[in-house]
Chain A
Amino acid sequence: MMEKKRIVEEGLLEQYLIGDLPLDQQLEVEQLLEKDASLRKEYEQMEASFEALAFEQSITPPSEVKDQLKTVIEKKSSNTYQKFAFPIAAGLALLFGFSTFWMFTKWQSTETDLRNLQNQTSSLQSRIQSIEDSYQTVNANLENINNGQVIPVVLYGNQKAPGSRVVAYVNHDQKIVFVNPETLPPLPADKTYQMWSDVEGEMIDMGLLDSKKNLIELKYIEAAESLNITIEPAGGNDHPTVSELVSYVTL
């Protein structure tokens, strides 16, 4: 540590004032100035004199120096903004990247949703078509059995088909017959119901009855006197098996 006396006598304070000391001595002077109030006061007076002297010897610089300084400083400030330009641009690019990715994901998800919707729409369309077809059929059936020219006839089942009520809708004008055989009891796979018309004592085949269906169109036979249902081998028979008569009605 330097002695205060040495600092004063060797003029180190004066050298420190103008920045003329090597770094190690400069630091030692600074440490001593911090600790020694009287040395500090002496240095402050020296600084005051030094500054006062400078103002006495001052020379006003041309105004252009300040103008140039402003130009340089303001250019440097704008450079400072330029320093931030890259991080800002990078940040924006990153943000743009994320938002693009998000948009892409959203787009993909929307595509999937759209495909699902299209599939659903297509499924709905086919269901509507199917319902329309059913409606057409039902409507047509209703037309066939529910007009003024149709005569409904009921064939009650005997002991072979107790409780069954087969309805035959006969249209003599249009020469068509529809039968609802739903109430006939189910038969083994090798048997079937068959319907016959009695014309002058001869039984003429009208067709087979599938008891699973609710309305079947059969052949219209002219001048039929009665309608008869028998049980026959699967595929039907040429002649009715009279012993297997299930029901009949006289027209």
Chain B
Amino acid sequence: MIRNLDDIQLTKRVAEGDERALYQLYNKYSSAIYGVILRMCRDEDQAKDLLQETFVKIWKNIDGYDPEKGRFYTWAYRIARNTVLNSIRKQKNLIQTEDLGVYTNTEAEENPKDFTVLEGSLAQLEPHHQRAITLVYYMGHTHHEAHKVMDIPLGTFKSYIRQALKQLKAIYGRELILVWSFFEMMI
């Protein structure tokens, strides 16, 4: 909770034009966001540019962040996700799916590089839950795209996500205090 209050203060300062507050948010969240961006675009040079672009957008659009509606990370994640998806859409030779997603049904997760390997609590999930979470959170798929990638009905896919989150909640329920203490130490 203290961490969230810190974030609210920092975002207020960013809104007032305090660059140092932006750099503090960067120090805190850039690695989490970079993990998402790199896994989505699978290209380090591009990922670096997109991380920078994401924080420039955060700087310019901070007025659009409402702490009442959710965490700073969630808001920043959405910006990062959209930034990556827009960038991928602009790339040539892209084959769009019917619902304007950015991947075809089959090419999305083939031959992932080392940096796409998922760790920690996610690795404790069952493989199909792990894959569902990865497709949506770390590859930028919509639910409508992801169920096609996994070749399962949409309803089944959604229940995979729901179950996966429930399991993660249970895992974090056990680890939460430890993890947050660790973050506090980092900050």
Q: Interface of A with B (CB < 8 Å)?
A: 8, 10-11, 14-15, 17-20, 30, 33, 43, 45-62, 64-66, 68-70, 72-74, 76-77, 80
Docked CA distance A9–B30 (Å): 33
Contact present for B142 and A20 (CB under 8 Å): yes
A contact residues around B175 at 8 Å (CB): 52
Give the contact stretch, choosing among B89-97, B102-110, B162-170.
Answer: B162-170
What are 25 A-to-B residue pairs whose CB atoms are below 8 Å? Answer: A11-B143, A11-B161, A14-B136, A14-B143, A14-B158, A14-B162, A15-B142, A18-B77, A18-B78, A19-B78, A46-B165, A46-B169, A48-B176, A49-B168, A50-B137, A53-B133, A54-B73, A55-B31, A55-B32, A56-B121, A57-B122, A59-B35, A65-B52, A69-B56, A76-B56
Nearest to B175 among chain A residues (CB) is A52
Tell me the count of chain B residues lying within 8 A, CB to CB, of chain A: 55
B23 interface hit (Cβ, 8 Å): yes
Interface of chain B, main secondary structure: helix
Chain B residues numbered 1-59 whose CB sits less than 8 Å from any CB in chain A: 17, 19, 22-23, 26, 30-36, 38-39, 47-48, 51-52, 55-56, 59
Would you call B111 an interface residue if the criterion is a C-beta within 8 Å of the partner chain's C-beta atoms? no
| Residues of B contacting A33 in the complex (Cβ-Cβ under 8 angstroms) | 69
A73 touches B73 (CB 8 A): no
Q: Which residues of chain A are within 8 angstroms of B32 by Cβ–Cβ distance?
A: 51, 54-55, 57-58
How distant is the Cα of A76 from the Cα of B115 in the complex, in angstroms?
32
Residues of A within 8 A of B59 (CB): 73, 76
Whether A69 lies near B26 (C-beta < 8 A) is yes
